[in-house]
Amino acid sequence: MSGVTTAISLARARLRHRPARGLLVALAVTLVVGVEVASAGVSRMAGDEALRAGLADVPAGYRSIVVSASGFLSEPAALARRGDLVRQILRPVSAAPPRALTLFQPLADAAGATFSLAGVDDLPTAVTVLTGRLPAPCTPTRCEVVQVGPEAAPRLDPSLGVVVVGTAIMRDRSVLSGSYQPTDHAPVLIGDGSRGMDSLASLPTFGRSNGWVAAVNDAALTITGVGPELARLAALRSALALADRGLYLTAPDEQLAIAAARSDTAARRLLLVGAGAVALAAAFALLAAIGLARDHQAAARLLSRRGAGRAAIAAFHLAEAMPSVVLGATGGLLLGAVAVDRIARHESLGAGYPSQAIGDALATVLITGSLVLGVIVLVLARLATERVPGKLPLALVGVGLAAVTFLAARRGAVAPSRLAATDDPLLAFLPTLAATTAALLAAIAGPPILTLVERALGQRALVVRLALLAVVRRPLRLTGVAGFVAAAGALALFAVTYAATLHDGARDEAGFRVPFDATIAEGPALILPLEVSSLAGYGHLTPGLTAYGVVRQSANVRSAGHQAVPVALLGVPAGALAAMDSFRPDFATRSRSELARLVAWHDGRYRGPVLPAGTTRISLDLAGEFRRFEASVDLRDGAGVVRVLALDATAGVSVPPTSPGTVLAGITFRVPDHDVARRLHQAGEGVAPAAGREGTFRILALRANGSVVPGLGVPWVVVSGGSLVRSGPGVAVHWVVVAEAVRVRPAQPTDHGIPVIADPATAAAAGADGSVALTVGAGSVLRGIVVGTADRVPGLPSRFVVADVAALSPALDADEPVTGAVREVWLRGPAERALAGPRFAALEITYRRRLVATLAGDPLGRAAVALVAVAGGLAVLLALIAIILGLLGDARDERAELYALETDGLPPRTIRRLLVVRSVMSVAIAAPVGTLAGLLVVRSTAQLIAVTAQATVPEPPLLVAIAWWQPLLAVAGSVVVASVVAVACALPLLRGRLPRRPEGGLG
Amino acid sequence: MIGPAISVDDVFCLYRGAQGDVAALRGLDLVVEPGERVVVHGPSGSGKTTLLRVLEGTTAPSAGRATVAGFDVRTLARRRDVRARVLGLVDQHHGRVLRPELDCVTNVALQLAISGASRRERRARAESLLDAAGVGHLADVPPVALSGGEAQRVALCAALAHGPQVVLADEPTGELDQVTAEQVYDVLDTLARDAGATLLIVSHDEGAARIADRVVRIRDGRLSEVWEPGEPERVVVDRRGWLRLPAPARDATGITSSAKVAVVGRRLVLAPFADATPEEAAVAEAPAGRDLPTGAVARLTAVGVAYGGRVVLAGLDLSVARGRLTVVRGRSGSGKTTIVRLLAGLARADHGVVEVDGVGLDALGRAARARFRRRTLGIAGQTAGLAEALDAGENLELALTIRGQRDSERVETLLVGLGLAPLAGRPVRLLSGGERQRVAVGRALVARPTLVILDEPTSQLDEGNAERLASLLRAEVAAGATILCTTHDRALAASADVVIEL
C-alpha cells in the first residue's frame, strides 16, 4: 500500500513539475468528450424533432385519444357518470381536459341534402366564429348551432328545434375528425355541449355516437417518452375496460410507434460521430502515451528498482494518466452541455437537453475515459518493460484486422434499415476498427517503403535521410500517427461527406421536384397558367427568363401478359430537357443533351384545313346519315391552344375571330345522351335497336364565314366509331353505333409514333420495333417509340414516359382535344421577382430556391451537419495537437542526439528542419493509409449518409458527394498542414544563445 | 546470511540481436562472501554490466545459476520487494536514479517510503545518510542543481537508505575526477560498512581497488584474473580448464592462435608454434620524420566563467598547440568541461577572449558557431550523443556527411583503430557504454578537423581500450591532428605532448 502511495505521490510531483503535457492530453479528452455529449444531445434533439415531425404528419383526429361509448344511453345521469369516469382516467395523459361530443347519424334536410348534427363540450374553444354568434346552450326544445363546412345552409325542419346562429371553422382539429368524422362535403351543425345535444327532444332515439376526445400532448413528447406513453395508454385501456365495458379507447399507438422508430433511426445515425470520437480518443491516447513514455519509463524503472510492486507500478501508470483524463472528461461534459444548451436555445427546443445529453453520453464518456486511460496505461506499461511486439505478430494482426474491416465494409450492414437495430455493433466499432487497421498497416508497410526511399537517396539529402532512418527504426510513433490520422481522417471525411451530401441532397431533391427555377401549375382556383399569361408572356416577364410549356398526363402501358401499369406522361420541350441542370448524370446512361437530341420533334405543324384569319363562323356541308349525331369541331391555333366548339350540323357555329394559322383539328360526332340511354335500355331488355346501327355520312366542305375552305383533301383518319370510305367526294365516314362518338380528323405525322424516353421497366414493355402503346384519357392510344431510357427524370415518379412537347401535345389533341393542352409552365431564370405580382397569385408556384432553403434549413439536418462539422474540426484540431506533441516529444526525448548533431556542426535551423521533416514524413506515410481508412468508413456508411436528416430515403437518392480528387486533396492537405504546423512548432526550438546540455549540471 | 552473498555458477547470457545472438557471459563463476568488497574490472563489452543485470534480476541467465543473498536471481526477477530489500543499486549516471521532480532528501527516502517507513523515520534516515555523505546541506535542493560529485553522493545515499544486504555499483565514479571519485568511494565504503552490506563494484577505475577486499577481471564473459589489492594478479582456470592468457604474456611469447602445452612436474608450460606470427597492430603508425607544425590552434585569454555566482574559471590563459595532443587535468568542478565547451563554442565566457583557428568565437551567433564547428572542430562529449537510429559505422559516416565528405577507407581505419570493426554494423543503441564512447571519439576524428576536442574520452573504457585509444590519438597527432583532451586517465595523460593542470 505504501508503495502505491509513494508511486502516486511521485506521479503527482511529476505532474506538478511538468504540467503542460498532461494539460494537452486533458484538452484533447475535453474536446472528444465534448463532441460525445454534443452528439448525444443533438441525437436526442434530432430524435425528438423527428418524432414531432412524424406526429405532425398524422391527421389531428388520429393523434387524439378517443373514448367511444358503445350502446345508447339517453339517461343523462348515466352519461354524466361515464363522463366523469373518462375525465378522471384520461387526466394524466391529456394536455387539456377531455372534450365530450355527440355526433348524430347523418340527417337529411327538407330538400333531401345531407347534413351532420353534433354537440361539443366547451364549444367556444373548439371553433372560431366567422359570421353570426356562438350558440347558446341547448334545451330539449331548442338547440342553437353554428354551421361548419359548405356555405349552403341546410333547409331545416322547424320541428327539429335546431337553429343556425352563425358560421364557423374548427379551431380544435382533434374534434370531429378521425373516429368522429362527419359526412364529407356536408355541412356540420354544432351545438354547445354534448349533454344538451343529447337531450334534444326531437331526436330522442335517433342514432348517435357519444365519445370523449383528448389531444395527445405531442409538443412535450420526446423520443424516450414514447415507450412509457405507449405503456400508459395500454394501462388506460385496461383501466377503462375494467371500469366500464361500454367504453372503448382508441389512441395513436401505431402512429406513435412509427414516429418513434423513425426518430430513433434519425438519432442513432449520429452514433457514428460518437464512435468516431471514441476512435479518435483512442488514437490520440496512443500518441500521447508514446509522447509521455520516455520520461515515464525512467521513473517507472526507478520505482521498480526501488522495490515498488506491480500494484505500485500500475498505480504509477494510472496516476500519471488519470488526472488528465478525469480533468478532460469533466471539462468535456461541461463543454458538451454548454454546446447542447446553445443549440437547443438556438433551435428553440426548450430546456433539459444538456442534462439529458450528459445522461445519454455518460456510458460513452466512461468508455472513452476508460479507453484513453487504458491505452495510455497499457502503452506506458508495455514500453516500461521494453518489450515491443515482433513484426510477424504485428503483420498477422494487421492483416487480420484489414480483413475484418474489409468484410465489415463489404457486408454493408450500416444501412438506414439497420439503424434502428440497437444491437448492430458495427456502427460503434467501425471507426476504431479502421483506425487500428490503418495504424498497423502503416507500421508494417511504412518502414520498408521508407527504407527504399532512403536507399534511393544515397548520400544526398542528409536531413531527409536522417528523418527517414529515425522513422524506419522507431516505427511506434509512425504507428500512432497513422492510427490517429486514420481516425481523424475517417471522422473528417465522414463530416465533409455528410455535410456535402446533405447539402447536395437538398439541392437535388428540390431540383427533382422543381426542374428549373420555378414551376407554375393550376392553383386552387382552377386557373391554368396559360390563362394568366401566354408562354411567350411568361418569357418576357423579365430578361433572362425562359418559359417552357409542359404537358402532363397519365397513361397506361400494357405489355404482353401483364396488367396495365399507370405511367406519367410528360411533354417537355427537347431544349428544356437538354438545359435541365437538375437532371443528374446518374439518372441515365446517356447525357441529357443526347436524350434531348433523340427525343426532339422538329415537325410541330398540325396538319389540317387552315381557316382564314378572322373567321367568325364555321359550318360544314354534310351529307348522308349524320343527323342522329351532335357535332363539334376543334380548332387549333398557331400556339397550340385548342378550342372545342359545338356545331349545329346545318347552321354551323359562331366563333371569336380566329388567329392566323388556326386549323380545323378534328370533328367529333357524338350520339346524344338520350339515345345512348335508350340504346342501353334496349340492350338491357334484349331488344335490338330498330334502326340506325350503322350508316355513312360525308363531309363535303368546310366553310369559313360562308366560303369554302380549301384543304379538305388532305388525308383524313377516323379515330373512333367507324372507318373512312375511300370513294366519292369529300371525307366519307362509315359509322357504327358501338361507339358513342365518331371522331374524324386530318392524318398527323405523330400517328406513326413519337420518340419517347421511358424508365427501364416501361421500356421493357416495348415491342420489337421499340414502340410502346400508351392508353391515354378516354381510351385513345398513343404510340411511343422508345429512343432512350433513364432511371429517373426530374418532376416524374418512377414510371414515366417523356416526349418532346412539340410531338406529344398535337398527338394527344389529335385524338382527344385539349388533353394535349399545356397545364404547367416551367421557368428558368430569375422567376421570383417576375412572378411577384398579384395576377399570378391564383396560381400554384413552387420555387426551387425556396424549396432548397426549406430542405437544407431543416433544423434537424442543420444540427446534424453542425455536429459532424464540429467532429471533423475536432479531428483536425487533435491532429494538430498530435503533430505538436510528436514534434515536441522528439525534441525532448532526443535532445542528446540533437545536441550531438549541433556539436557536430549542424546549425539549429537544419536541426529544426530535421524535426519538421520527421513529423511530416510520419504524416506523409500515415495520411494515405489514414485517408484510405476514412474512405473505407465513408464507403461502408454510404447508405447511412444517403438518407435525409429525418432518416427517410429521398427521391432522387442522395449521392455520396466525394470526388476522386478529394481524397488526394485530403492527403496533400494533411501533408501541407502538417508541414505548416510542424514548422510553426519547431520555430521556437533551439533559439537560445547556446545549445543546452542534455545532461544538465555545471560541467 | 547463510552461504555466500553472491554466487554465480557457470552462467551464460545471450542477447538476441538483429545480426545474431551475442554471448555476453560465457560460463562465468564468481562467489562473494558476506561483507566482502569485490571490484570487477574488464574491458568494454566484456560482460560486466550484464553480470550486474543478472545479479539485479533484470536479465535472466540463459544457462547456469546465480544467487544473491541466498535468493535465486529468477526469484529476484519475480519478487521486486525482495530484490529491493536485499539489493542496493548504484548507477553510473546519477540522472537515472535521482528524479528531478523530487528534492534530494525525498529522492533518498524514496525506497523507504515504498517499503512503508513513516515520514519522520524516512526523513531522519535520509538526512543522516546525506550528512554522512557530506551533502546534508543539499537536502532540500533538487538534483539538477548539484555538481556531478554531489549528485553521485546523493545517489549513493538513495541506494543505501534501506540498508541492503548486497550493494551492486555500476561505474559509480565513471563521470568523476580522481579526487571526487575517491571521495565517492569513501562514502560508498562507509555507508556499506554501516549497513553491513556486501559490495560488488563494476568499474574501470583502478582507484576502486582502494576499498576492495578482492579484485576480479572479466574478459569475454568469463572470469579471467583475480587478485587482492597490492598482490599480483592470478589467472583464473575455470572448472572446465579454460584459462585466458593475458595479452602481455601472449605478446611476449608470440602465442597467437595456438600453443604447445607441456607439463613439467607441477608446472604447465605453454610454448608457441614456430609458424605463428605476431598480430598486426591495429592502429596506424605515425609517419616517421614528420615536421611538426607550430603555433596555437586555439587560445583562451583571460577567460572567466561563473555559474550562478560560482566561479569556475577566473582569468584563465590557455593555448592549444597545433599538431599536439594536449591534455587538461584537474579535479571535478575545476572547469575542464567548461574549457571544452568554451573552445567548442557551446558555452560563452563571461569575460576574456576565446579564439579557435584565428576566429574569435564570442562574435559568432549560435548558427555561425555550428557552421564553424562543422568546418573546424571534431567534438566528443563525456556522454556519447549518437544518432541512435544508425549503426556504429553509419555514425562515423554521418559525421563525414555533415561536413560534405565521403571517405569509406577512413571510416574503416578508424573503426579498426577503435576496436569497433566487429561492431560496425550494430545499432549504437545496442552497444555498451564504452563502445558508444569509442564511436563518439570516432565521430570526432573521422573528418580530420583542425581541432579535435575530447571530454573524458576514456571515462568508460577499460585499461586495454584506454591504451588503444591513447595509441590512436597519438597516431592521429602524428598524422597532423591537433587534439585537446580532458581526462583523469593517467595512461592518456602520459601520452600527451602537453599536460595542463587546472
pLDDT in tens, A272-286: 667 777 777 777 777
Q: Which of B346, B371, B382 to mutate to test the interface with A (most CBs of A within 10 A)?
A: B346
Query: Distance between CA atoms of A420 and A433, rounded to whole angstroms?
Result: 22
A741-746 vs A663-670, strand pairing mode: antiparallel
Q: Provide the pLDDT confidence category of residue B30 given band limits of 50, 70 and 90.
A: very high
Contact call for B347 and A994, based on CB within 8 A: yes
- pLDDT: is A948 or B33 the higher one? B33
% of chain A at pLDDT higher than 70: 81
Q: Is B439 on the interface with A (CB under 8 A)?
A: no
CATH 3.30.230.10 fits B296-501, yes or no: no
Half-sphere exposure of B4 (CA within 13 A, CB side): 16
Q: Are B6-227 and B296-501 equal in CATH topology? A: yes
Q: Provide the pLDDT confidence category of residue A888 given band limits of 50, 70 and 90.
A: confident
Q: Provide the pLDDT confidence category of residue A640 given band limits of 50, 70 and 90.
A: confident
Query: In this structure, which amino acid lies at residue A256?
Result: L
- pLDDT: is A825 or A873 the higher one? A825
Contacts for A647 with CB less than 8 Å, ≥ 6 apart? A618, A619, A620, A631, A632, A633, A653, A667
Q: Treating both helix axes as pointing N-terminal to C-terminal, what angle do A908-940 and A965-986 enclose, rounded to 10 degrees?
A: 150
Q: If contacts are CB pairs under 8 Å, which of residues 13-52 in chain A contact chain B? A: 13-14, 16-18
Segment A816-828 shows an average pLDDT of: 89
CATH 3.30.365.10 fits B6-227, yes or no: no
Query: Distance between CA atoms of A382 and B446, rounded to whole angstroms?
Result: 39
Enter the C-alpha cell of residue A262: 423513425
Q: What is the pLDDT of residue B308?
A: 65
pLDDT of B110 over the 50 cut: yes
Query: Distance between CA atoms of A333 and A354, rounded to whole angstroms?
Result: 9
Q: What is the pLDDT of residue A507?
A: 81
Q: A40-49, A276-285, B14-23: which has the minimum mean pLDDT?
A: B14-23
Query: Distance between CA atoms of A566 and A513, rounded to whole angstroms?
Result: 20
Determine whether B346 is exposed, middle or buried from the number of CB atoms within 10 Å of its CB (0-12, 13-18, 19+).
Answer: buried
Q: If contacts are CB pairs under 8 Å, which of residues 472-531 in chain A contact chain B? A: 472-474
Q: What is the pLDDT of residue A650?
A: 72
The CB-based long-range contact list for A536-543 (8 Å cut-off, 24+ gap) reads A538/A825, A538/A827, A538/A834, A541/A834, A541/A835, A542/A829, A542/A830, A542/A833, A542/A834
Q: Which of A16, A306, A466, A472 to mutate to test the interface with B (most CBs of B within 10 A)?
A: A306
Contact call for A999 and B379, based on CB within 8 A: no
- If you measure CA to CA, which chain B residue comes closest to A1002? B147
Half-sphere exposure of A545 (CA within 13 A, CB side): 22
Q: Is the pTM of this model over 0.80?
A: no
C-alpha distances (whole Å) from A812 to each of A104, A569, A739, A931 are: 49, 11, 19, 56
- What are B199-218's pLDDT values in tens digits? 999 987 778 888 899 999 88
Q: Is A678 on the interface with B (CB under 8 A)?
A: no
Q: Provide the pLDDT confidence category of residue B287 given band limits of 50, 70 and 90.
A: very low
Of B84, B367, B379, the CB nearest to A903: B379
Q: Provide the pLDDT confidence category of residue B44 given band limits of 50, 70 and 90.
A: low
- If you measure CA to CA, which chain A residue comes closest to B332? A1003
Q: What is the mean pLDDT of chain B?
A: 83
- What are B369-391's pLDDT values in tens digits? 999 999 999 999 877 788 887 88
- Least Cα separation, residue A915 to chain B (angstroms): 14
Enter the C-alpha cell of residue A390: 515482433
Q: What is the pLDDT of residue B226?
A: 92
Query: Distance between CA atoms of A416 and A267, rounded to whole angstroms?
Result: 11
Q: In this structure, are residues B319 and B296 in contact, taking their beta carbons and an 8 Å threshold? A: yes
- The dihedrals phi and psi of A201, each to the nearest 5 degrees, come to -70, -25
Contact call for A1001 and B147, based on CB within 8 A: yes
Most confident of A54-68, A603-617, B456-470: A603-617
Query: In this structure, which amino acid lies at residue B253?
Result: T
Residue carrying C-alpha cell 572448472 = B239
Half-sphere exposure of A445 (CA within 13 A, CB side): 17
Q: Treating both helix axes as pointing N-terminal to C-terminal, what angle do A271-305 and A353-384 enclose, rounded to 10 degrees?
A: 40
Q: In this structure, are residues A567 and A765 in contact, taking their beta carbons and an 8 Å threshold? A: no
pLDDT of B188 over the 80 cut: yes
Segment A429-454 shows an average pLDDT of: 74
- Least Cα separation, residue A936 to chain B (angstroms): 34
Q: Treating both helix axes as pointing N-terminal to C-terminal, what angle do A859-893 and A475-513 enclose, rounded to 10 degrees?
A: 160
Query: In this structure, which amino acid lies at residue A143?
Result: C
A630-636 vs A824-828, strand pairing mode: unpaired
- Tell me how many helices (H) and strands (E) chain A has: 29, 30
DSSP A91: T
Most confident of A163-177, A342-356, A706-720, B402-416: B402-416
Segment B355-359 shows an average pLDDT of: 89
Parse chain A into domains and list their residue ranges: 59-251, 398-417+425-513+850-991, 523-604+752-842, 617-747
- pLDDT: is B91 or A71 the higher one? B91
Using a CB-CB distance cutoff of 8 angstroms, which residues of chain A are in contact with residue B344?
Answer: 903
| Chain centroid offset of residue B467 CA | 14
- The dihedrals phi and psi of A642, each to the nearest 5 degrees, come to -110, 135
Using a CB-CB distance cutoff of 8 angstroms, which residues of chain A are in contact with residue B162?
Answer: 307
B498-501 vs B325-329, strand pairing mode: parallel
- The dihedrals phi and psi of A842, each to the nearest 5 degrees, come to -80, -5
DSSP string, A201-250: TTSTT--EEEEEEEEB-TTS--GGGHHHHHHHHHHHHHHHHHH-TTEEEE
The CB-based long-range contact list for B253-257 (8 Å cut-off, 24+ gap) reads B254/B278
Query: In this structure, which amino acid lies at residue B124?
Result: A
Q: Treating both helix axes as pointing N-terminal to C-terminal, what angle do A2-17 and A271-305 enclose, rounded to 10 degrees?
A: 110
Name which of B477, B474, B439 is nearest B457 in CA terms.
Answer: B439
Query: Distance between CA atoms of A975 and A968, rounded to whole angstroms?
Result: 11
Q: Provide the pLDDT confidence category of residue B443 given band limits of 50, 70 and 90.
A: very high
Determine whether A343 is exposed, middle or buried from the number of CB atoms within 10 Å of its CB (0-12, 13-18, 19+).
Answer: buried
Query: Distance between CA atoms of A161 and A319, rounded to whole angstroms?
Result: 88
Q: Provide the pLDDT confidence category of residue A930 given band limits of 50, 70 and 90.
A: confident
Q: Is A390 on the interface with B (CB under 8 A)?
A: no
Query: Distance between CA atoms of A506 and A504, rounded to whole angstroms?
Result: 5
Q: If contacts are CB pairs under 8 Å, which of residues 301-340 in chain B contact chain A? A: 307, 310, 312, 333, 335-338, 340
Helix or strand holding residue A803 (H, E): strand A800-804
B325-329 vs B483-486, strand pairing mode: parallel
Segment A255-279 shows an average pLDDT of: 69
Contact call for B101 and A13, based on CB within 8 A: yes
Query: Distance between CA atoms of A178 and A180, rounded to whole angstroms?
Result: 5
Three-state DSSP state, A113: coil
Enter the C-alpha cell of residue A354: 444538456
Gap between the terminal Cα atoms of chain A: 40
Contact call for B113 and A904, based on CB within 8 A: no
- What are A130-171's pLDDT values in tens digits? 888 889 888 888 899 998 876 667 888 888 888 889 888 887
DSSP B138: G
Segment B173-197 shows an average pLDDT of: 81
Determine whether A378 is exposed, middle or buried from the number of CB atoms within 10 Å of its CB (0-12, 13-18, 19+).
Answer: middle
Parse chain B into domains and list their residue ranges: 6-227, 245-279, 296-501
Q: Is A1003 on the interface with B (CB under 8 A)?
A: yes
Q: Which of A18, A903, A987, A999 to mutate to test the interface with B (most CBs of B within 10 A)?
A: A903
pLDDT of B170 over the 80 cut: yes
Q: Provide the pLDDT confidence category of residue A421 given band limits of 50, 70 and 90.
A: very low
Query: In this structure, which amino acid lies at residue B181?
Result: A
pLDDT of A757 over the 90 cut: yes
Query: Distance between CA atoms of B204 and A479, rounded to whole angstroms?
Result: 41
**CA angle A718–A724–A726, rounded 5-degree value:** 150
Q: Is A905 on the interface with B (CB under 8 A)?
A: yes
Of B162, B367, B388, the CB nearest to A897: B388
Q: What is the pLDDT of residue A561?
A: 58
- What are A831-881's pLDDT values in tens digits? 888 888 888 887 889 999 888 887 776 655 666 677 777 777 777 777 777
Q: What is the CA radius of gyration of chain A?
A: 40
Using a CB-CB distance cutoff of 8 angstroms, which residues of chain A are in contact with residue B374?
Answer: 904-906
Contact call for A5 and B367, based on CB within 8 A: no
Q: What is the pLDDT of residue A947?
A: 54
pLDDT of B18 over the 80 cut: no
Query: Distance between CA atoms of A306 and A303, rounded to whole angstroms?
Result: 5
Of B97, B115, B383, the CB nearest to A307: B115
Q: In this structure, are residues B76 and B57 in contact, taking their beta carbons and an 8 Å threshold? A: yes
Q: What is the pLDDT of residue A894?
A: 80
Contact call for A309 and B80, based on CB within 8 A: yes
Q: In this structure, are residues A214 and A252 in contact, taking their beta carbons and an 8 Å threshold? A: no
Q: Provide the pLDDT confidence category of residue A321 given band limits of 50, 70 and 90.
A: confident
Query: Distance between CA atoms of A315 and A309, rounded to whole angstroms?
Result: 10
Using a CB-CB distance cutoff of 8 angstroms, which residues of chain A are in contact with residue B371?
Answer: 905, 907
